[in-house]
Structure 1
Amino acid sequence: ADGTPVVRKQPIAAWRDLDFATEARELTGTTFVAHVRYATNGAPKDVNTHPFLQDGRIFAHNGVVGGVETLDAKIAELGVTDLVHGDTDSERVFALITASVRGHGGDVGAGLVEALSWLRENVPIYAVNVLLATATDLWALRYPDTHELYILDRTGAGRGRFALHSKRIAAHSGDLDSSPSVVFASEVMDDERWELLPSGELVHVDADLSITRRTVLPEPPVHRLTRAHLSPAVASAQHPSS
């Protein structure tokens, strides 16, 4: 109610957790970020589990970023090594973003563009799809076109029930049956209005649910990784259904 971020996560392999499919929680809030991690690095510990929290912002990432030593050196140069507690590339990407946002006086959009532009130019990238949320705003970016990221705009007329399902994920909200909302997801659920985000497009949803979209990364990564570059374990985690 007061805008304080709350993070709830459980670093247990879903296939080991007998209650995983039945313990969905009913939560109240203004913005939500939910993430199931298909781990590619780092042990299944709390510090390696999404979502991450820094400077009152919640972050989740889908993809693989290489060049960890280069990224660590940049994080140290920016003085934010203390933000990294685990082993994941995701938390390091978030620390870089947080440092850039600080450098732009709290302007999240500018910080995201600066951080992701640096990643594009300096480290190998397979995918870096990101969601970043505050109590009032949410930013989403798909980059490059390796993995899908979709937007569902439910701010207009004819919203219908908020009861969304796919084979792997689901979301329900009685309150949003009659109230506007904007939803992002890594796969389409059962609504015909989902739209695939173009690669490099940054989407911002503000407190009034106004949607702003702009292309910020029109070019592919300088050091783009393909699936052939990934180890079998990492490739399996990045493409769990294939």
Structure 2
Amino acid sequence: MCRWAAYRGEPLYLEELVSSPAHSLIEQSHCATRAKTATNGDGFGIAWYGDRPEPGRYRDILPAWSDCNLKSIARQIRSRLFLAHVRAATGGGTRRDNCHPFVFGRWAFMHNGQIGDFEHLRRPMENMLDDELYAARTGTTDSELLFLLALQFGLESNPLGAVADVLGFVERLAGQLSRRGLVRFTAAFSNGEELFAVRYASDRKAPTLYAAPMGPQGGYCLVSEPLNDDTAWAEIPDGSAVIVGENGVDVRLFGATDAPVQNRPVANSLPLAAGSDLELT
């Protein structure tokens, strides 16, 4: 399993997630505490938004802890919205094209999880892509393919609905092919304006997701596991979607269906630390 962190708010240096905290993303790359595997050394990547609509990106196959360029870049780059990822490969070789985040146009996407029996589902999944999106597929991971399918299914106009449709499609496809098709999916994605995240699994065992205020007033961080021992971190429940935008944080119930994402509050299942200003609508 992989580890990732994402931020939206007033500009911060990338190092405030990637390298500075006690349990930074680089620290998690060789000593994760809330994952099945402690080491996430199969590459890393960061995507950040600046003055242009499309994100910048830096990826490599080195373990995050051994790349001196990553610390240097993280110390110099400030961004109002960025995604960072360290990889533990569950499928697909250790190559740059398989490192997250993946980008297309103004969208950036990163993922922690997997699709069961993916090798048997891959071809019919790829057949759903139009020529432009199929040509954009440069790697071999299920993560990149899920991202491209979300674009195919309408990510631009209905981000959470598109992801719900993709996950529902994968589960139905697996059933039609008599495959297990277990989906475990905790992902973050952005169009440069809003930051989205989804935590979902077919078996209710989704990879972890936490949220906390960060930086100047109104900034929020979403992570696979907390970056420090601060009590402000709140666990996002399995079966949830998160939107971080101009008006703060919106947490909703999420399911893999053909229908739009249910717009019901989950406040009762999301314990918040005292003093946290995380608001649910």
TM-score (norm: length of structure 2)? 0.62
Q: Deviations over 1:123-174 (max 9, x none)?
A: 422521110012111110112233211111x2xxxxxxx5xxxxxxxxxxxx
- Aligned match of 2:196 in 139, 142, 148? 139
- Give, in angstroms, the shift of residue 218 of structure 1: 7.7
- 1:37 equivalent in alignment to 2:87: yes
Who is 1:159 aligned against?
Answer: none
Who is 2:5 aligned against?
Answer: none
Q: Which runs of 5+ in 1 are unaligned?
A: 155-161, 163-175, 220-242
Report the secondary structure of 1:64's partner residue.
strand
Report the secondary structure of 1:30's partner residue.
strand
Who is 1:204 aligned against?
Answer: 243
- Aligned match of 1:19 in 50, 68, 87? 68
Q: Deviations over 1:44-93 (max 9, x none)?
A: 22111111002321000001113344243133133232232111111111
Q: Residue 13 of structure 1 contacts residue 44 of structure 1 at CA under 8 Å; is this kept in 2? A: no
Moved over 3 A (4+): 20-24, 120-123
Q: Residue 14 of structure 1 contacts residue 20 of structure 1 at CA under 8 Å; is this kept in 2? A: no
Q: Which runs of 5+ in 2 are unaligned?
A: 1-50, 175-180, 258-281
RMSD: 2.4
- Aligned match of 1:180 in 215, 218, 238? 218
Q: Deviations over 1:81-113 (max 9, x none)?
A: 2232111111111111111126xx622122122
What letter corresponds to residue 146 of structure 1 in structure 2? A
Q: How many residues align?
A: 193
Q: Residue 58 of structure 1 contacts residue 134 of structure 1 at CA under 8 Å; is this kept in 2? A: yes
Measured in 2, the distance between the counterparts of 1:92 and 1:77 equals 10
Who is 1:130 aligned against?
Answer: 187
Who is 2:146 aligned against?
Answer: 93
Higher strand share: 2
- 1:214 equivalent in alignment to 2:252: yes
What letter corresponds to residue 112 of structure 1 in structure 2? V
- Cα distance 1:85–1:193, how it changes in 2: closer, same or farther (>3 A)? same
